[in-house]
Amino acid sequence: MRITCPHCGERDRREFYYRGAAVDLDRPAPDAGEKAWDSFVYLHDNPAGETRDLWYHEGGCGAWLVVTRNTVTHAVLKTELASQARS
């Protein structure tokens, strides 16, 4: 598996640390209520198909990335800096 870092170019998977679904970028407000927080912390999707993950380029430039990939075909479809995906 190869991931294209916006800074470093195409790199081997070993350089990256996997964090999890990119829902972390949409963290509820502190006062959003129990339902929103319960959903944020526990109720994650587990899609067969396209998913967005957070990966950290630990053995590289140190950027957090949002990687869009397909869990069925293993294709990596898109990578972007988390700082930009969020804004």
Partner 1 sequence: MVELLATSPCEGLLPLCIGQVTLREEEVGHLTSLAPYRGQSDALSQTLHSAHGVAFPAPNRVTGKAGARAIWFGRDQALLMGPEPDQSLRAHAAIADLSDGWAAVRLEGDGAEDVLARLVPVDLRREHFKRGHTIRSQIFHLNASISRVDDNGFVMLVFRSMAASLVHDLKTAMEGVAARG
**Local structure of 42: helix, strand or coil:** helix
What does DSSP assign to residue 67? Answer: E
Which residues are at the interface with Zn ion (CB under 5 A)?
5, 7-8, 57, 60-61
Residue 85 near which of partner 1, Zn ion, none (CB within 5-8 Å, type-dependent): none
Give every CB contact of residue 1 below 8 A, 6+ residues apart in sequence.
Answer: 12, 13, 74, 76
Question: Which residue stretch of 30-38, 40-48, 59-67, 70-78 sits at the interface with partner 1 (rule: CB under 8 A)?
Answer: 59-67
Question: Which residue stretch of 23-31, 36-44, 53-61, 66-74 sits at the interface with partner 1 (rule: CB under 8 A)?
Answer: 53-61
Q: How far apart are CA 87 and CA 83, in angstroms?
A: 7
Residue 64 CB neighbour total at 10 angstroms: 18
Q: Is 25 in the site for partner 1 (CB under 8 A)?
A: no
Binding site for partner 1 (CB under 8 A): 7-9, 11-12, 14-15, 57-63
